[in-house]
Chain A
């Protein structure tokens, strides 16, 4: 067992995982954050994607002890209670999640947290991404249900709304 301290979704958390325990299992078993899903345990499917220190990582390929001292964000940390995604949105959904809901992005939902986190990390660096860039950025995440189009459309809608909001804010600033 190794004692670790890390920040998860903005809160300081401590734990004593075995050295061999993956970050995914630590989040799910020790911290009860079961939104992070384990789909292949060999780093290909992306279902377990979380954001560590600003970067999307496969939490099945990272050991919990490697995350000591890091800032980890999981799907549970995306939209704090009371926040809503704008555009007449649903409480508890951030803007990307709201756009994905509006776009019927997902079906069974198992891959969903991984896509949401991968897209979140990508959009924070590429807020104006186009369709091809989004496809490439999400090509490391596997969805078996949708054929991807609805997921891509959800991310594109989030990009478009973000741009509209930015324009509206800029105009409000000028007036």
Chain B
């Protein structure tokens, strides 16, 4: 008698299959790769923010025993193909394209800009070699802030652009902006700044490039969010055929948007391996990571809001300048997403948005967990500033303005339907959980004792994946592909282009496929990290819960149908009468008929034969795609309670509550890990982290003594409650949660700090609030406000 398992893996906090190797030190990260004859690379980097390169003398470095090669920027140009950044090209960037070389040749544009690479027998010797490279620079005035970059007289970083505008000014209006502002009871305006901070995965960037001259094949062991984007980038820059580049990836020590594709350094390492004919490893150290890997945010906003006396937010009009740093990256593309997302779950009548992206002598803008997050910061900060002016409670003003759930759904003023958004429910639930009236009593009591407690809430939506567009040909995020195969050993193998780096895909995708196919969790294998065998894909943008979860579900269904067709012939019954549960195929109503999936797989393999030219119907493999189905939004409301020490400026986050709706949970522990991790980064961004530059463009936070990361003593327990209110799709109601914590935690915490400091009349128009800044705000404030 076959046991018929009723349990489902999906929805349970199944323990991660990644963990046994990770907990025992047997994970395989890129720095763990050792190849025969492998050499090590180190980069000579600019100490200047902006300078002409007059000469590069590598003779002493080349003479150092143990140094195999020193390649200058000019030499690398001869070994590579100039062209646009592969990622920008893939994303369809059509704006001004700066011309620059792989490593700096005539000009350096940031502190840390690589000018040469030293290849040596080990990393110590490679760094010794770097010390011996003499570079002569001629200073140029550094362009360190956006205001100077906007000045037509600032020296252009890229001569072919003629100025420091990375993306020219654009303005879009949605609804009747002039009319809405003219008719409003009040128009308030203020300026908001978001500071520069960065991803800081615990493992930096790195690769091992290994070129085989006989076959002409480049094998890259990479730390990447997409083996295929890295493959395309290497092939483009090295002038190789796409199929002669194979990218492999194992465990990856975090990324948060940093490791999409191949960086300039990784491309130089690939070129160096081809040049010297030996494998070359480069793993950046923390100084390189903080200085030169990339940074995020740094936007400033002039905000105008049209409001009614009762607290209706009628219109928003934003002018943004985004500082995208030196070399081109995602920074010029982010304004479009900010514009689309700015209304959030609120029923604005009109919205204006204009933006200019500038180029400065700082690290390149990279995607960092919710790259457009500042739209939420600005909106949620604005709501609290307005509420304060009108004497409204911060929950009340939000409840007043969130769009009701209706059929048809309210359209965001920027054009997307707010289908299934539960912002109102999350606000109401947060207010219940923290009991705001009780908190206000405690706050008043604490103030009487000279202690400053504050409460802050903020609400967000996350397009993970976002709703199906009414006019769109396919879903919200294009297509996701997966190849699924029942191996001859009876394993359901999922080949995915997802490249997990902490997100637990090897567990969550197996949960979904195991349930859908009907095999034990252990009988599913998730195959990632080899461009030769996995379809195109990218881990990022909170896409995988819906897109990859969906393709795993539908793909497993298709594979199961194929397996049942084969088994039906084998068992001489109709496929309609067959079931698969707990790894066994059996005839409905006749458990004694069961044969194992593994046995079916063996029979199929026997039919095909070792040469693979047998009956195609026995080929138990499918190529599945998924377009996101009905998609939908993730979102929710967070609440922080802080205790601000007005003497020292130290902020302690006493309590943090998140009410989130990401639809059906695949693995609650994984979901909650994503939320907590994002919130921790958001708390770090407000209280600790800043990528700081001096007036001359020197980088001032190149160590963990200067770039302060949150620790176990800085992050409180984060209470999470899930709403699972609105199923939109028959099968796939999983939505992403990768970015939400980092998107909404900064305004949540800043709103709480402002609330705590309200007896001083403090108004906050910025995001970075270390103790010294808290004390300044108190000193500058007008208690009459």
Using a CB–CB cutoff of 8 Å, the interface residues on chain A facing chain B are 18, 20-21, 28-29, 32-42, 44-45, 47, 74-76, 78-79, 90, 92-93, 97, 100-102, 104, 106-113, 116, 134-136, 138-152
Contacts and interface: CB of A to CB of B under 8 A. Distances in A.
Contact of A150 (B251, B501, B676): B676
Contacts of A34: 25, 28-29, 31-32
Contact of B502 (A29, A108, A141, A152): A108
Nearest to B28: A34
Nearest to B703: A42
Given A139-B711, A147-B676, A97 B24 contact: yes
B253 interface: yes
Chain A interface mostly helix, strand, loop or mixed? loop
A143 to B, nearest CB: 7
Contacts of B122: 29
A141 to B, nearest CB: 8
A146 B680 contact: yes
Contacts of A102: 15
Interface string B643-681: 000000000000000000000000001100100110111
A108 B673 contact: no
A133 B208 CA distance: 41
A135 B253 contact: no
Contacts of B24: 35, 75-76, 78-79, 92-93, 97
A40 B15 contact: no
Nearest to B717: A149
A97 B23 CA distance: 6
Contacts of A141: 711-712
Interface of B: 13, 15-16, 18-29, 31-32, 34, 122, 124, 200-203, 251-254, 256, 285-286, 501-504, 669-670, 673, 676-677, 679-681, 703-705, 709, 711-713, 715, 717-718
B676 A37 contact: no
A149 B672 CA distance: 10
B655 to A, nearest CB: 13
A34 B24 CA distance: 10
A138 B711 CA distance: 8
A140 B714 CA distance: 12
A149 B715 contact: yes
A45 B202 contact: yes
9 nearest A-B residue pairs (beta carbon): A35-B25, A110-B253, A109-B22, A108-B502, A147-B680, A147-B676, A107-B502, A44-B704, A75-B25
B670 to A, nearest CB: 7
Given A35-B25, A38-B31, A106-B19, A144 B718 contact: no
Contacts of B705: 42, 44
B26 A41 contact: no
A104 B20 contact: no
Nearest to A114: B202
Contacts, number: 172
Nearest to A76: B25
A147 B718 contact: yes
B715 A104 contact: no
Contacts of A136: 712-713
Contacts of A135: 712-713
Contacts of A147: 673, 676-677, 679-680, 715, 718
A124 to B, nearest CB: 18
Given A41-B286, A42-B286, A21 B124 contact: yes
A108 B501 CA distance: 5
Nearest to A45: B704
A144 B256 contact: yes
Given A107-B677, A110-B253, A144 B18 contact: no
A145 B391 CA distance: 39
B15 A145 contact: no
B20 A101 contact: yes
Most buried by B among A38, A116, A143, A147: A147
Contacts of A90: 20
A101 to B, nearest CB: 5
Contacts of B256: 144
A153 to B, nearest CB: 9
Contacts of A107: 254, 502-504, 673, 677
A20 B22 CA distance: 29
Given A34-B29, A35-B25, 18 more contacts: A33-B25, A37-B253, A45-B709, A90-B20, A97-B24, A104-B15, A107-B503, A108-B201, A108-B501, A111-B253, A112-B23, A116-B23, A139-B711, A144-B200, A144-B202, A145-B677, A150-B676, A152-B712
B709 A144 contact: yes
Nearest to A29: B122
7 contacts: A42-B705, A93-B24, A109-B253, A136-B713, A142-B709, A146-B673, A148-B712
Contacts of A116: 23
Contact of A108 (B15, B251, B676): B251
B22 A112 contact: yes
Which of A37, A109, A112, A150 has the largest count of B CB atoms less than 10 A from its CB?
Answer: A109
A134 B717 CA distance: 14
A144 B713 contact: no
A112 B503 CA distance: 15
Contact of B673 (A40, A97, A145): A145
Contacts of A42: 286, 703-705
A101 B20 CA distance: 7
Most chain A beta carbons < 10 A, residue from B23, B673, B704: B23
Nearest to B22: A109
A149 B711 contact: no
Contacts of A151: 712
Contacts of A40: 286, 703-704
Contact of A18 (B28, B124, B677, B712): B124
Given A37-B29, A149-B717, A93 B712 contact: no
A35 B26 contact: yes
A143 B715 CA distance: 11
A29 B15 CA distance: 32
Nearest to A112: B22
A145 B25 contact: no
B673 A104 contact: yes
A110 B23 contact: no
A102 to B, nearest CB: 7
Contacts of A109: 18-19, 21-23, 27, 251, 253, 502
Contacts of B712: 134-136, 138-139, 141, 148, 151-152
Nearest to B25: A35
B13 A140 contact: no
Contacts of B124: 18, 20-21
B251 A106 contact: no
Nearest to A100: B23
A16 to B, nearest CB: 14
B196 to A, nearest CB: 17
A38 B206 CA distance: 13
A149 B709 contact: no
A52 B211 CA distance: 40
A20 B128 CA distance: 12
Nearest to A78: B24
A145 B286 contact: no
Contacts of A18: 124
A41 to B, nearest CB: 5
Contacts of A47: 202
A111 B202 contact: yes
A18 B123 CA distance: 13
Contact of A144 (B16, B21, B252, B254): B254
A136 to B, nearest CB: 6
A7 B670 CA distance: 38
A101 B202 contact: no
A143 B504 contact: no
A108 B713 contact: no
B292 to A, nearest CB: 15
A110 B203 contact: yes
Contacts of B22: 106, 109, 112
A104 B32 CA distance: 24
A113 B19 CA distance: 12
